Chains A and B, each alone.
Chain A
Amino acid sequence: MQISASPLIQKVFPPSLVNTGIRYLWMTLLTLLLFGFILLASGKDPIRSYQDMFTSTLGSWYGFSEVLVAMIPMLITALAVALPSRVGLINVGGEGQLYLGAAFATWGALTFQAQPAWILLTLMTLLGMLGGAVWAFLPAYLKAIGLVNETITTLLMNSIAPKIIGFLIFGYWHSAVDTVKTANFASAARLPTFFGTRVHLGLFFGLVLLLLFWFIMKYTRWGLEMRAIGGNPQAARRNGIPLKRYLIIVMCLGGALAGLAGMAQVSGFYGVLLLNFSIGLGFMGFLICWLAGGEPVGILLMSFVVAIITTGGNLLQLTRDLPYAVINILLALALFVVLARPSLVQRKKS
């Protein structure tokens, strides 16, 4: 199994900027048209639904800030997929790594809640990353010694992680009034928010990491060696690049990123650890990374677009009496359209 990374973008989209613009516009229209039919079929007015979605996201500062909030975990989990993909590893385990990171961070928040905020938050950040890395280690090790494919193991471990959270919450951590979540975190365990909105420090983490990822891949020896491994692992090994060590470390770093996203969700967004708090955030990261071809700028754009879709869906639920899950249809249609790579003009067979 292979993810075709950066060359894909070049293959799908001709280099000319105008063509690219037209293509994106056409794909957007096609998606909105398809979803419009579904809205019509369920007796809703598509035009007014789209108006609602637009005004609730890009129409106001508050709406815009909500889009940024939704974007944070997507940005970071997409990076958690992008980094391992550079050495040819397919990390489908973001979901599980995110849960473990959230669990480790929660342990920190509950145990050391008397500490001052800067110590506690630093500790939780490190714990979150450790949790994700721990969850990525086994797949990474099994892959590095050539025993089991990492796609299968990461996928399996996704299903185990939420059960560990359930075990911890039910058994030890639940609050006095509720068995499906912990008590609210102390304010010292909450990532600071900005401008009276729900935008939290996680956004800063995401953007800095994105920049760091771009810089390391482009300007450092590590980036060069990782590209070499991604291109031809055996050739890289014969040239003296420590292949196994790279595979294990890079995969664990990917896990650490997803774990950080989990920490950001519980500390920045919820302020509490909830059972099954992420239905599909890790998978969404995988899709965003794939759509962006693993490129930093693409990841930024794509997570922004997906965040608009999910945030807009929130409002659709309130004003149009649609189940929240319906927004997944719009998301999926957008993905289908990108995956199907429709063209207005017939392209030559590549």
Chain B
Amino acid sequence: MSLLSILGVLSSAIFSGTSLLYATLGEVVDERSGIVNLGLEGVLLVSASSGFAVTVLTGSASYGVLVAMLVGGLMNMILGYLVVFRRANQLASGLALMFFGFGLSALVGKPYVGAKIEGLSRIPLSGLSGLSRLYTSLFSFDVLIYLVVPTAILVWWLLFRTSWGLGLRAVGENTDTAFASGRDPRLIRIQALFLGGVLTGLGAAHLSIAYTMNWTEYMTAGRGFIAVALVIFSRWHPLRAIVGALLFSGAVAFQLLLQSSGVQISPFLLDMIPYVLTLLVLIAWGGNRKHSAPASLGRVYHGSE
């Protein structure tokens, strides 16, 4: 196995892991405010298709990314309306949002199946200029890849170092206490959902505009659910989410590496690794889960008197 193939695998792992990390960060924000968003898969799909459509129509990938972010936020507003203002069940509302996303993305994306786009421009890593073109082309990433770890740090800073983040986490732990300390749980949850949706939209934009550069129906293929699992794996912490996404991309890379080196292990078995690991981690941490999951996660807020 050559160095080139290993580096190639690493490069593709970074590409596939980026959209996942954005989506995971989005879900971390949602869940920290106490809302489980099972509709993540649907939000990803609608953002990916509309972002791609706008890129085709305007010829500008940046517009596509912006629209994908906005659409992500708006999709989450549907969930927000249902669970925050109409006090609907979060699991059922999330699943309904997922089905909505399946349908809407197919409708929006249909005219653009097979369309070609420029995609986000790639910027080579500096310091590699001495290497041959073959290597530098493997390590020219788009701007969304460079920004994904800083975004994770930004989300961490927002959640753990700002007053707004403190309020958001307080709502996620105990809505009544948060209300008593002068915060509006409804407003905070809506804000959290919007931010979460924008982050999810970024992930979707990376998937369709920068990585695959096309649109096919149901192209996310379960990424939304992987992200939901990674949130649990990372114990609702944005920085640990980086580890989670790395783990997943690592598993993908490992699988590609094995295939390229001729080892016969079914890719389906390797695909299970991230889920099985998450399950094992959950079991190992089961005893002290009180210190990780937001306490009011999934509960309906009926308003404080």
Using CB atoms and an 8 Å cutoff, list the residues of chain A in contact with chain B.
1-4, 38, 42, 90, 92, 142, 147-149, 151-153, 155-160, 163-164, 166-167, 170-171, 279-280, 283, 286-287, 290-291, 322-333, 335-336, 339-341
Contact in complex: B89, A283 (CB < 8 Å): no
Contact in complex: B103, A332 (CB < 8 Å): yes
Contact in complex: B226, A159 (CB < 8 Å): yes
Distance (whole angstroms) from the CB of A337 to the closest CB of chain B: 10
Partner among A1, A42, A336 whose Cβ is within 8 Å of the Cβ of B299: A1
Can you list 17 A-B pairs with a CB-CB distance of less than 8 A?
Answer: A1-B90, A1-B299, A38-B107, A92-B91, A147-B287, A156-B278, A163-B271, A170-B268, A171-B266, A280-B98, A322-B107, A323-B107, A326-B106, A328-B100, A331-B103, A339-B88, A339-B96
B7 at the interface (CB under 8 A from A): no
Q: Which residue of A lies closest to B222 (CB)?
A: A159
Contact in complex: A326, B103 (CB < 8 Å): yes
B282 at the interface (CB under 8 A from A): yes
Contact in complex: A156, B275 (CB < 8 Å): yes
The range of chain B's interface size is: 35 or more
The complex places the Cα of A336 from the Cα of B165 at a distance, in Å, of 29
Q: Which residue of B lies closest to A339 (CB)?
A: B88
Partner among A92, A171, A280, A324 whose Cβ is within 8 Å of the Cβ of B99: A280
Contact in complex: B225, A158 (CB < 8 Å): yes
Partner among A1, A38, A335, A340 whose Cβ is within 8 Å of the Cβ of B81: A340
Contact in complex: A290, B279 (CB < 8 Å): no
Chain B residues near A4 (CB-CB < 8 A): 89
Contact in complex: B99, A335 (CB < 8 Å): yes
If the complex has contacts A286-B91, A286-B95, A332-B100, are A153 and B279 also in contact, measured as CB distance less than 8 A? Answer: yes
B4 at the interface (CB under 8 A from A): no
B247 at the interface (CB under 8 A from A): no
B82 at the interface (CB under 8 A from A): yes
Chain A residues near B287 (CB-CB < 8 A): 147
Q: Which residue of B lies closest to A166 (CB)?
A: B268
Contact in complex: B102, A287 (CB < 8 Å): no
Contact in complex: B268, A286 (CB < 8 Å): no
The complex places the Cα of A92 from the Cα of B97 at a distance, in Å, of 15
Given contacts A155-B229, A332-B96, 16 further A-B contacts (CB under 8 A): A2-B298, A92-B91, A147-B286, A147-B287, A155-B38, A164-B268, A167-B269, A286-B92, A287-B92, A287-B95, A332-B97, A335-B95, A335-B96, A336-B100, A340-B86, A340-B88
Chain B residues near A339 (CB-CB < 8 A): 82, 86, 88-89, 92-93, 96
The complex places the Cα of A286 from the Cα of B94 at a distance, in Å, of 12
Which residues 286-302 of B sit at the A interface, judged by CB distance below 8 A? 286-287, 289, 297-299
Q: Which residue of A lies closest to B108 (CB)?
A: A42
B217 at the interface (CB under 8 A from A): yes
- What DSSP secondary structure best describes chain A's contact surface? helix
Closest 7 CB pairs of A and B: A328-B103, A1-B298, A332-B100, A329-B103, A325-B106, A147-B286, A335-B96
B122 at the interface (CB under 8 A from A): no
If the complex has contacts A155-B228, A156-B275, A325-B217, are A336 and B96 also in contact, measured as CB distance less than 8 A? Answer: yes
The complex places the Cα of A147 from the Cα of B280 at a distance, in Å, of 12
Contact in complex: A328, B102 (CB < 8 Å): yes
Q: Which residue of A lies closest to B276 (CB)?
A: A160
The complex places the Cα of A291 from the Cα of B289 at a distance, in Å, of 31
Partner among B90, B92, B110, B298 whose Cβ is within 8 Å of the Cβ of A335: B92
Q: Mark B24-46, 1 if CB is under 8 A from A, else 0.
A: 00000000000010100000000
Chain B residues near A340 (CB-CB < 8 A): 81-82, 86, 88
B218 at the interface (CB under 8 A from A): yes
Partner among B96, B271, B297 whose Cβ is within 8 Å of the Cβ of A287: B96
Chain A residues near B266 (CB-CB < 8 A): 166-167, 170-171
The complex places the Cα of A235 from the Cα of B9 at a distance, in Å, of 56
Contact in complex: A155, B225 (CB < 8 Å): yes
B104 at the interface (CB under 8 A from A): yes
Chain A residues near B222 (CB-CB < 8 A): 159
Contact in complex: A163, B268 (CB < 8 Å): yes
If the complex has contacts A152-B232, A339-B89, A340-B81, are A283 and B282 also in contact, measured as CB distance less than 8 A? Answer: no
If the complex has contacts A4-B89, A332-B103, are A148 and B95 also in contact, measured as CB distance less than 8 A? Answer: no
B147 at the interface (CB under 8 A from A): no
B272 at the interface (CB under 8 A from A): yes
Chain A residues near B268 (CB-CB < 8 A): 163-164, 166-167, 170
Contact in complex: A142, B218 (CB < 8 Å): no
The complex places the Cα of A171 from the Cα of B91 at a distance, in Å, of 35
Distance (whole angstroms) from the CB of B292 to the closest CB of chain A: 11
